[in-house]
């Protein structure tokens, strides 16, 4: 295993390679960045190299006992802390601590991966702190999180952080055409909505329905000017249907207004994301003033930020729709 298949994330990968080559391995790492960006994939590769008995700088051999067991998912020296329920509690961490006190059986290191580390309760984090303060020399703990701020300062200060960045539009597009062989235009469409996250692009690709949802959102936004209440009702139900993925709908809304702005106000019709909706976009560009468009975009972005800061989702959406209705009368 090596890092050659990782798209982008050059800073992270380079830094990990340097630490592997110079054999300067920490006991605790935090891999932070958006969901679906590849943190766990990189953590897995890094772990396999750390554990490999052949110790080949920045790749694992794939042949030693540790590698063979790792690849078929049965290496006892590699543990992923999967928890049921919404939080990682003290008991989960105690289990880890008990386990880490036993030396590795087949590998150079014993690696513990904690996905969604932000789910650790404060007590769990304080409990983990004891291990971070006095880790066994063979122990490595990798915390993976999309919410770095949820980790205690004491945990952060004892860990090496690697922050994963969003991929570029072109990287996502190239990934989709190379890996899935989908045509260029469709790849561009999906990449626009993936917002630099490859995991999200794959999700969208699998959830074929993205175009259908987009059409409904756009229809409702167009309606907003004429029959506000009906449109608000329609958008609200789209949010309800999509449940966990409300952010996608906010993206669709943003990109629609962005297209109108780009096409109508700056006269550039060739870089539309919703290029198949050109007529609707041009028509709306004639009807909506630049000021209104910018206000609409600001309202949606405000909502997205509020949700990121854990505002009540439903309430935030309702407030947004009220403002939009008012703005577009």
Binding site for Zn ion (CB under 5 A): 52, 54, 60-61, 64, 67
C-alpha to C-alpha distances, 57 to 5, 20, 23, 186, 214, nearest whole angstrom:
17, 6, 8, 39, 47
To the nearest 10°, report the CA torsion of 179, 181, 183, 184. Answer: 30
Cα-Cα end-to-end distance for the chain: 58
Rounded CA-CA distance 175/70 in Å is 27
Question: Quick one: 45 or 273, whose CB is closer to Zn ion?
Answer: 45
Of the pair 60, 274, the CB lying nearest Zn ion is at 60
Q: CB 242 → Zn ion: shortest distance, Å?
A: 43
**Residue nearer to Zn ion on the CB measure, 52 or 151:** 52
Nearest residue (CB) to Zn ion, 59 versus 302? 59
Whether the Cβ atoms of residue 162 and residue 12 lie closer than 8 Å to each other: yes
Rounded to a whole number of angstroms, the minimum distance from the CB of residue 311 to Zn ion is 47
Cα separations (Å) of 181 from 115, 173, 285?
Answer: 30, 11, 34
Closest to Zn ion by CB, 64 vs 151, is 64
Rounded least distance, CB 72 to Zn ion, Å: 13
Comparing CB distances to Zn ion, the nearer of 64 and 96 is 64
255, 192 Cβ separation under 8 angstroms: yes
Least distance between Zn ion and beta carbon 53 (Å):
5
**CB closer to Zn ion, 53 vs 121:** 53
Q: Which residues contact 193 (CB under 8 A, 6 or more apart)?
A: 200, 204, 210, 214, 248, 251, 252, 255
Pairing of strands 110-114, 139-145: parallel
- Smallest distance from Zn ion to CB 55, Å: 8
Nearer to Zn ion, 48 or 159 (CB): 48
How many angstroms from the chain centroid is the CA of residue 228? 33
Q: How far is the CB of 74 from Zn ion (least distance, A)?
A: 15
- Using the structure block, give the residue that is written with the tokens 């945990």: 155
Q: How near is the Cβ of 106 to Zn ion at its closest, in Å? A: 10
Q: Which of 114, 15, 104, 107 lies closest to 58 in space, CA to CA? A: 15
> What is the Cα Rg of the chain in Å?
24
Three-state SS at 238: helix
CB of 35 to Zn ion, least distance (A): 30
Of 194, 186, 323, the C-alpha closest to 247 is 194
């Amino acid at each position: 295993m090596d890092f050659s298949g990782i798209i982008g994330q050059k800073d992270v990968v380079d830094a990990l390679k340097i630490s592997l080559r110079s054999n300067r391995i920490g006991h605790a790492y935090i891999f932070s960045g958006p969901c679906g960006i590849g943190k766990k994939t990189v953590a897995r590769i890094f772990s396999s190299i750390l554990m490999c008995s052949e110790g080949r700088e920045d790749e694992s051999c794939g042949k030693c006992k540790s590698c063979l067991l790792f690849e078929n998912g049965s290496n006892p020296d590699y543990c992923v802390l999967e928890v049921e329920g919404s939080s990682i509690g003290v008991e989960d961490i105690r289990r880890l601590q008990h386990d880490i006190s036993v030396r590795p059986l087949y590998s150079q290191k014993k690696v513990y991966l904690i996905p969604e580390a932000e789910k650790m309760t404060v007590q769990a984090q304080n409990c983990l702190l004891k291990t971070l303060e006095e880790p066994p020399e063979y122990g490595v703990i990798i915390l993976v999180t999309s919410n770095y701020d949820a980790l205690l300062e004491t945990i952060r200060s004892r860990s090496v952080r690697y922050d994963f960045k969003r991929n570029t539009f072109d990287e996502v597009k190239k990934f989709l055409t190379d890996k899935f062989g989908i045509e260029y235009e469709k790849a561009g469409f999906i990449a626009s909505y993936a917002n630099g996250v490859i995991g999200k692009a794959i999700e969208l690709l699998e959830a074929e329905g993205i175009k259908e949802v987009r059409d409904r959102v756009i229809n409702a936004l167009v309606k907003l000017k004429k029959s506000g209440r009906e449109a608000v009702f329609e958008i609200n139900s789209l949010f309800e249907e999509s449940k966990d993925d409300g952010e996608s709908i906010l993206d669709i809304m943003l990109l629609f207004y962005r297209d109108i702005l780009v096409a109508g106000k700056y006269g550039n019709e060739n870089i539309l994301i919703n290029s198949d909706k050109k007529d609707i976009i041009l028509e709306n560009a004639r009807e909506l003033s630049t000021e209104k468009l910018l206000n609409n975009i600001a309202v949606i972005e405000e909502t997205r930020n509020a949700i990121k800061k854990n505002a009540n989702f439903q309430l935030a959406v309702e407030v947004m729709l009220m403002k939009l209705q008012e703005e577009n009368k």
